[in-house]
Chains A and B, each alone.
Chain A
């Protein structure tokens, strides 16, 4: 049997090849296996970590993302014209910082807390 084309090799690589004869050929053929190794190496290169990245930076960034998202979420709740019961959204991060946003049903922010401390006092 002649070696299968790229389409079949690619399907085999993804576990999508249904033709058992071709699969058996690929498994027993040195040339096909060598092509598949190249494919593996290429995909590993496409998903390799970018150089010069640190997880420390990520942790700081997560706090920013979480804080930004909760503020946006909090404003979204504040702008929702529903009940006058306060809505509370809370998000905890791994280092123990807890962001809490409280709003009323009306269009205003009631309070924003960081670690339980009021960042903006309630206005009456």
Chain B
């Protein structure tokens, strides 16, 4: 039988890149995404037996905490910057990622909902519990988020 340590390590190799992508596209910051990914796996090691869905929901709450802690100025800058006007290496990397370019136009709530569904494949019931709403409301929120993301994607060509 597979040990907990082995199963955690397998989970790490299987999901690290996805978790990194998830965190980056939620926050638009590579360094913060690397940090949260490490934190989540360290938390998984302490917790022991975890599933992939747990990794993403744990990452979501940590990313949201970080976004809340960001300075007002940083939030304003991220909201108003265009790919051309972006500053610094991190910003240029973020501007090249189509996923982030599309998602940054959505609210954090919509972004995290879309990403949890796309990366972790959480069911409407699981998402409803997480977002403290009903499965049918999740359906409506997802369709709005997708519609908006598609519109942004079309703008990018």
B-binding residues in A (CB < 8 A): 6-7, 9-11, 13-14, 16, 38-39, 41-43, 45-51, 53, 55, 58-59, 61-62, 64-66, 68-70, 72-73, 76, 90-94
Q: Provide the residues of chain B in CB contact with A65, threshold 8 Å.
A: 12, 38, 41-42, 45
B43 to chain A, nearest CB (A): 8
Q: Provide the residues of chain B in CB contact with A50, threshold 8 Å.
A: 17, 20-21, 24, 30, 97
A51 to B25, CA, bound (A): 13
Q: Is the interface of B mostly helix, strand, loop or mixed?
A: helix
Q: Provide the residues of chain A in CB contact with B6, threshold 8 Å.
A: 92
B80 to chain A, nearest CB (A): 23
Q: Total interface residues on B, using CB and 8 Å?
A: 42
Q: List 23 A-B contacts (CB under 8 A).
A: A7-B143, A9-B143, A10-B147, A13-B146, A14-B142, A16-B124, A42-B149, A45-B98, A45-B153, A46-B99, A46-B102, A46-B114, A46-B115, A47-B118, A48-B98, A50-B21, A50-B97, A58-B17, A65-B41, A66-B9, A92-B3, A92-B6, A94-B9
Q: Provide the residues of chain B in CB contact with A59, threshold 8 Å.
A: 13
> B89-120 CB contact bits vs A (8 Å, 1 = yes)?
00000001111001100000000001101110
A-binding residues in B (CB < 8 A): 3, 5-6, 8-9, 12-13, 16-18, 20-21, 24-25, 30, 38, 41-42, 45-46, 96-99, 102-103, 114-115, 117-119, 124, 139-140, 142-144, 146-147, 149-150, 153
Q: Provide the residues of chain A in CB contact with B13, threshold 8 Å.
A: 55, 58-59, 62, 94
In the complex the two chains form, is B96's CB within 8 Å of A51's CB? yes
A59 to B16, CA, bound (A): 10
